[in-house]
A and B are shown apart, each in its own frame.
Chain A
Amino acid sequence: MKSKKTLKAILEIFSIFFYTAIFTFGGGVAMLPVLEKIMVEKKKYLEEKEFLEFFSLTQILPGSIMCNMAVFVGYRIAKFLGALVCVIAITIPPLTIITLIAIFYGRLIEYPIVKKIMLGILAGVVGEVSGIILNMFKRTKFNNFKIFLLLFSFFLMFVFRLNPIYVVIIGALSGILLGKED
């Protein structure tokens, strides 16, 4: 009986994450209120506190917020299988949409109007990312190490043109060896 119940729960969380993945535009943070409403308020799979704890964890790990959230909630409900099912559920809709766009990309891009819209969106992205940079500057508590690391990473990436992967690794190692916790 118990396994039947688990199967039902897995099917349900699959459809919840699938639905959420289709209807949330604007990245992982936009997904949270939708997911919270279903998971915490309606279905009561987990408590508010736990949900927020999961969210804060997603932000300190590599990978997208959406996938990490799917892993945590899925694991909490049905262990490893639950996590796997939720990640698959959240991957299928974007994978399908992007593949469809990729198929028609060659034809789409021939229309000047499509290029104009894309350039407009890119201009918006530049504005948005600049805003994120400003907000991060305001929030970061700079000490001597961080100021040095900021300038050094900037030099490595822009002047020395080192592959950003190595800059992340160098920054991470120097943080472990020389940095302080926030």
Chain B
Amino acid sequence: MLLLRIFLEFCKIGIISFGGGNAVFPILHREVVENLHWIPEQELLYMVSIAETTPGPIAMNLSTFVGYKLYGFLGAIVATAGYNLLPFLIAISVIISVGKLKENKIYKRFLSAVKVVVLVLLMRAVYIITRGGFHDFRPYLLSFASLIFFMKFNKLNPIYLLIATGLIGMIVF
């Protein structure tokens, strides 16, 4: 049954979602585009641009969209619930045991290693977007300019950067 598969698939992605939406994106891409063929790559890439500029966590927004594409409104709810379920249960257990996790030596080692993998996941995210979405040199130039801007204005909410590049894209692409 498709609904159950959607639910389980997004449970799986949810439990492994460390390092924020951009790091979850390559995992989601591998599963829903390459393995399951649930959605074309181009559509997921466009959706990334929407997920980054609308309210809500990026990976959750992507889950909602993929769920909707597969099974309408019910699919959207099931995918979103699946994505949130296990992190919710983990967070509840952690708060009940009042943060003892932070002093746990094994968890510290776990986290220190996962952060390194997150670094590679972020590289993979950049690779997937540029390979699938950039067809000439102009987007690369705009990316480079955004990088410089991002490094210079570290404190600024990146949403302003994305709105600016969206408007620039509208004019120059």
Contact = CB atoms under 8 A, between A and B. Distances in A.
A120 B122 contact: no
Contacts, number: 337
A89 to B, nearest CB: 12
A1 interface: no
A71 B129 contact: no
Interface string B93-107: 011100101100111
B60 interface: yes
| Interface residues of B, dominant DSSP | helix
Given A57-B94, A71-B95, A98-B65, A129 B117 contact: no
A28 B17 CA distance: 14
A60 B59 CA distance: 17
A109 to B, nearest CB: 7
B147 A130 contact: yes
Interface string A158-182: 1000011101110110111001111
Interface residues on B, range: 35 or more
| Interface residues of A, dominant DSSP | helix
B112 A175 contact: yes
Contacts of A97: 54-56
Nearest to A147: B116
B4 interface: no
B55 A23 contact: yes
B116 A127 contact: no
A37 interface: no
A40 interface: no
Interface in A64-97: 64-68, 71-72, 75-76, 80, 83, 87, 90-91, 93-95, 97
Interface residues of A, number: 90
Contacts of A154: 120, 123
A122 B97 CA distance: 40
Nearest to B12: A165
A85 B30 CA distance: 32
A149 interface: yes
A164 B26 contact: yes
Contacts of B113: 145-146, 149, 171-172, 174-176, 179
B18 A64 contact: no
A122 B45 contact: yes
A11 interface: no
B32 interface: no
Contacts of B107: 60
Given A123-B169, A128-B147, 6 more contacts: A57-B95, A61-B91, A71-B95, A101-B65, A150-B116, A179-B112
